[in-house]
């Protein structure tokens, strides 16, 4: 039984960051209801229509799915009934849209003062750029992270996964904010509004670069090397079989161990030497590492207590015994897809565990169930609403 057992979440979001946030809450035991836009309106977001598509499957386990047309008055009525029964609402509309639809915090708060309402956007609810459209690559660029990625001899290089701004900056900030607000509510008895900006969150991740910049005033730039690191002791190396592994010898004794192993003890005193020296050492080590296959090196270096790890592709990663032990993948049965793999929740709480309890729903699978069981609509009323396209 997860820590959020008994908490009910309403997901009005149309995209990844919102769905991902409510998935985390769902994994932790919350009851999550996603509100899709009826397909008949022609305005359902492309990513969330096909319930067998990778993105949909990846974001919607532990949730129930209903479809309501929020532009219709009767649709809003359904939503207002729901709002009274939930603890958390998450939405990701451009600032102003929820208000126009009549589903903003002020409106719902009047119905349910204990409601915690979280908006996740790229730039936040206010400020000069609040109305700008954008996606992760834009936010990562704007926050200064992209400009530091890659080599200065190349254009900046974007990391497609994990999504640094949307997910690490936006989603997790939202999840933390919601949890903190739920915690505060235990004392105050009241809900509140949470304004999450992915770019604000991404900027906060400059926890090493920003303090350094604040201290010495020098704006950091991309480094020389295409590996993204200019020091030999923390870098990516190519092995004989064309596979890669990483060294992370920050501690002096780890650096000494690797120097001894490759018979270059003359490198030991130059651990944190200047960049020309680092390049020299990197090239020398690269030559040595090109003489054996990756997995041989990983074993050798691991036995010698050097900070090493293989650089895996997805196939290797998911077959690695460590990940099997840590159970990073879980399988569920899906009515359309059969046995489906999902990323398991990474939470490991000893007393109130998180888990994947239910498979991703089919699109609008639970409209009737939610309206009937939770909101008290009769079958006839539901049929009527469906007939008018208010729900689906």
Per DSSP, which regions of 179-227 are E strands?
192-197
Selected binder of another protein within 320, 355, 365, 384 (CB under 8 A): 320
Which parts of 37-96 interact with another protein (CB under 8 A)? Answer: 46, 52-55, 57-59
Structural contact between residues 174 and 154, judged by C-beta atoms closer than 8 angstroms: no
How far is the C-alpha of 134 from the C-alpha of 123, rounded, in Å?
8
Is 364 near another protein (CB under 8 A)?
no
Which parts of 127-146 interact with another protein (CB under 8 A)? Answer: 127-129, 131-146
Q: How far is the CB of 44 from another protein (least distance, A)?
A: 13
Q: By C-alpha distance, which of 27, 7, 20 is closest to 357?
A: 27
Q: Residues 166-205 vs another protein: string with x where CB under 8 A?
A: -xxx--xx-xxx-xxxxxx-x-x-x-xxxxxx-xxx-xxx
**Whose Cβ is closer to another protein: residue 352's or residue 388's?**
352
Q: How far is the CB of 241 from another protein (least distance, A)?
A: 14
Is 275 near another protein (CB under 8 A)?
no
Phi/psi of residue 261, nearest 5 degrees:
-60, -40
Which parts of 207-266 interact with another protein (CB under 8 A)? Answer: 207-216, 219-223, 226-229, 234-236, 238, 244-248, 250-252, 254
Q: How far is the CB of 188 from another protein (least distance, A)?
A: 7
Residues 6+ apart with CB under 8 A from 127: none
**Whose Cβ is closer to another protein: residue 189's or residue 387's?**
189
How far is the C-alpha of 332 from the C-alpha of 111, rounded, in Å?
37
**Whose Cβ is closer to another protein: residue 187's or residue 380's?**
187
Q: By C-alpha distance, which of 123, 127, 116, 104 is closest to 170?
A: 123
Q: Looking at residue 270, what DSSP letter applies? A: G
**Whose Cβ is closer to another protein: residue 38's or residue 122's?**
122
Q: How far is the CB of 329 from another protein (least distance, A)?
A: 8
Q: By C-alpha distance, which of 154, 138, 272 is closest to 223?
A: 154
Selected binder of another protein within 80, 101, 111, 158 (CB under 8 A): 158
How far is the C-alpha of 346 from the C-alpha of 323, rounded, in Å?
11
Structural contact between residues 89 and 108, judged by C-beta atoms closer than 8 angstroms: yes
**Whose Cβ is closer to another protein: residue 233's or residue 377's?**
233
Q: How far is the CB of 80 from another protein (least distance, A)?
A: 21
Which parts of 296-315 interact with another protein (CB under 8 A)? Answer: 302, 305, 307-315
Chain length of the chain: 392
CB-based burial of residue 13 (10 Å sphere; 0-12 exposed, 13-18 middle, 19+ buried)? buried
Q: How far is the CB of 73 from another protein (least distance, A)?
A: 26
| Six-digit token string for 29 | 């035991």
| Six-digit token string for 266 | 């003359």
How far is the C-alpha of 46 from the C-alpha of 364, rounded, in Å?
15
Q: Looking at residue 218, what DSSP letter applies? A: P
Q: How far is the CB of 237 from another protein (least distance, A)?
A: 8
**Whose Cβ is closer to another protein: residue 80's or residue 213's?**
213
**Whose Cβ is closer to another protein: residue 77's or residue 283's?**
283
Is 28 near another protein (CB under 8 A)?
yes
**Whose Cβ is closer to another protein: residue 80's or residue 205's?**
205
């Amino acid at each position: 039984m997860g820590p959020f057992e008994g908490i009910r979440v309403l997901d009005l979001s149309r995209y990844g960051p919102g769905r991902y946030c409510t998935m985390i809450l769902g994994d932790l035991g919350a009851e999550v209801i996603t509100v899709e836009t009826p397909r008949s309106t022609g305005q359902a977001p492309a990513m969330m229509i096909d319930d067998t598509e990778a993105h949909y499957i990846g974001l919607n386990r532990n949730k129930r799915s209903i479809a309501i047309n929020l532009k219709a008055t009767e649709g809003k009525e359904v939503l207002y009934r729901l709002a009274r029964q939930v603890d958390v609402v998450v939405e990701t509309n451009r600032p102003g849209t929820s208000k126009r639809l009549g589903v903003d915090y002020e409106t719902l708060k009047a119905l349910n003062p204990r409601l915690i309402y979280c908006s996740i956007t790229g730039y936040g609810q206010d400020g000069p750029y609040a109305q700008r459209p954008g996606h992760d690559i834009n936010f990562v660029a704007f926050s200064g992270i992209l400009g530091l990625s890659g080599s200065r001899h190349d254009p900046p290089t974007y990391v497609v996964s994990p999504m640094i701004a949307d997910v690490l900056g936006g989603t997790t900030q939202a999840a933390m904010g919601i949890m903190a607000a739920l915690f505060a509510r235990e004392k105050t008895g009241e809900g509140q509004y949470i304004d999450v900006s992915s770019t604000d969150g991404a900027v906060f991740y400059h926890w090493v670069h920003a303090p350094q910049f604040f201290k010495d005033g020098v704006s950091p730039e991309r480094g020389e090397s295409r590996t993204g690191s200019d020091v030999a002791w923390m870098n990516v190396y190519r092995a004989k079989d064309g596979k890669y592994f990483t060294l992370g010898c920050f501690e002096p004794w780890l650096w000494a161990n690797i120097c001894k192993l490759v018979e270059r003890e003359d490198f030991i005193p130059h651990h944190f030497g200047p960049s020309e020296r680092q390049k020299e050492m990197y090239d020398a080590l690269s030559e040595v590492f090109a003489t054996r296959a990756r997995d041989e090196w990983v074993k050798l270096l691991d036995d010698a207590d050097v900070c090493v790890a293989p650089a895996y592709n997805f196939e290797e990663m998911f077959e690695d015994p460590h990940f099997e032990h840590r159970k990073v993948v879980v399988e569920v049965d899906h009515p359309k897809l059969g046995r489906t793999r999902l990323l398991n929740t990474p939470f490991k709480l000893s007393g109130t565990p998180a888990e994947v309890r239910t498979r991703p729903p089919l699109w609008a699978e639970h409209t009737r169930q939610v309206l009937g069981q939770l909101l008290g609509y009769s079958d006839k009323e539901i049929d009527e609403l469906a007939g008018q396209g208010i729900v689906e």
